[in-house]
Amino acid sequence: MEMLCQHLFSLYLIKALNCPSGCRRQAKRMTMHNLLLKPFFISLFLIAALSSCRRGEDPETPISGKLTLIADGAGIHAARIQGEVFSRYYPDAVIQAVPAEGSVQLRRGQAALISRKPQQDSLAVLRIEPVAYDALVVLVGIRNPVSAMTVTEVSSIFQGLRPFAGEALAEQVRLVGRGRQMAALVLRSEYVESALPDEAEGRVKLIPILKQGKGVFPDPEQIMNGSYPLVTTLYYVYYPGDGLAAGFGAWLTDRGQSVFARSGFVPLSELSRTIILN
């Protein structure tokens, strides 16, 4: 592409220098105004031509191009929303969110939104950044006498079990609401983002987790300041040399924080509020 641009540039100069005699006689009759404008238009043409060639060489930028975003678990919902909002701000960027299948192995042009850090040998070439928090929460029936649990009790009861999600989560919440001795371990993001809190109102309750003898609820503030003990971190993983992947990562830690908050996740820090005074 670079050689083609240079060739076109050379042809333009040859054409300009090899002007026929009739053309030269006509040039003598040009006014001073035209003589001043001609170099300007020549320069404008050359700049546009060379800029066009450069764009052809490297079409990807921090706000344009295509990126495949692989997400695991509850992260797929947030990944889709983040990609859609980012593309609204930057229409030349296409973010395609896809669910992870097994362990995530990234290639160029890909990034990941995952709840587990990649293997240590991948960290030499990949960049990993925390972008949001999630939490494990315990649901029990409203008539269940349990009022709080320790981390040890949660680990013992739910050992080897993964948090419920999707339809399985909805069914489990219904079962918990009907029983006195049942409990369910769920991801806060899955529960908050679903319609279950409204449907299950009056039938199930979130119980606090004991930390130093004090019950702590999974409120955003308690999750951000580290008081709630069952917190998980959502990570963004990408190749730092990929322009769009780097630009999207910058978005996730800035404007994307409010998008996470609307997706059931907890931002890294309290969001600033702008007050407009009339």
The closest of 243, 259, 264 to 86, measured between CA atoms, is 259
Percent of the chain clearing pLDDT 70 (strictly above) = 73
Contact criterion met (CB below 8 Å) for 209 and 215: yes
* pLDDT exceeds cutoff 50 at 36: no
Given this model, what pLDDT does residue 38 score?
A: 46
**Residue 272, pLDDT above cutoff 60:** yes
User: What does the chain come to in residues?
Assistant: 278
Query: Domain coordinates of the chain in residue numbers?
Result: 2-57, 65-132+233-262, 133-231
Bridge partners (DSSP) listed for residue 149: 209
Q: Does the pLDDT of residue 27 top 50, yes or no?
A: no
CA 240 to chain centre: 15
Question: What is the C-alpha to C-alpha distance for residues 249 and 272, in angstroms, rounded to an integer?
Answer: 20
Instruction: Please report, as a single letter, which amino acid is at residue 263.
Output: S
Equal fold, 65-132+233-262 vs 133-231: yes
Report the CATH superfamily, name and number, of domain 133-231.
Answer: Periplasmic binding protein-like II (3.40.190.10)
- The string of pLDDT tens digits covering residues 118-130 is 766 666 789 999 9
65-132+233-262 carries CATH number 3.40.190.10: yes
What span, in angstroms and rounded, lies between the C-alpha atoms of 235 and 245?
13
Query: Is the confidence at residue 196, as pLDDT, over 80?
Result: no
* Per-residue pLDDT band at 48 (split at 50, 70, 90): very low
CB of 188 closer than 8 Å to CB of 135: yes
Alpha carbons 199 and 129: distance in angstroms, whole number: 35
Which of 117, 128, 85 minimizes the C-alpha distance to 251? 85
Complete DSSP assignment for 120-145: GGGTTT-EEEEEEEEEEEEEEETT--
Contact 224, 36 (CB under 8 A): no
Instruction: Tell whether the model's pLDDT for residue 180 goes beyond 70.
Output: yes
Burial class (CB in 10 A: 0-12, 13-18, 19+), 26: exposed
**Beta bridge mates, 110:** 68
**Strand 209-211 versus strand 204-207 pairing type:** unpaired
Model pLDDT, residue 174: 86
State mean pLDDT over 26-30.
43
Reduced to 3 DSSP states, what percent helix, strand and coil does the chain have, rounded to the nearest 5?
45, 25, 35
| 150-169 per-position pLDDT tens digit | 999 999 999 888 887 777 88
At residue 152, the pLDDT reads 96
Q: How much of the chain exceeds pLDDT 90, in percent? A: 52
Structure confidence by residue, pLDDT tens digits, 69-118: 999 988 999 999 999 999 999 999 999 999 998 777 889 999 999 998 77
Determine the pLDDT at residue 213: 92
Q: What is the pTM assigned to this prediction?
A: 0.74
**pLDDT over 60 at 215, yes or no:** yes
Q: In the prediction, which pLDDT does 270 show?
A: 86
Q: What is the mean pLDDT of the chain?
A: 79
pLDDT band at 50 (very low <50, low <70, confident <90, very high): very low
User: Please, which pLDDT band fits residue 34 given cuts at 50, 70 and 90?
Assistant: very low
Provide the 10 A C-beta neighbour count for residue 187: 24
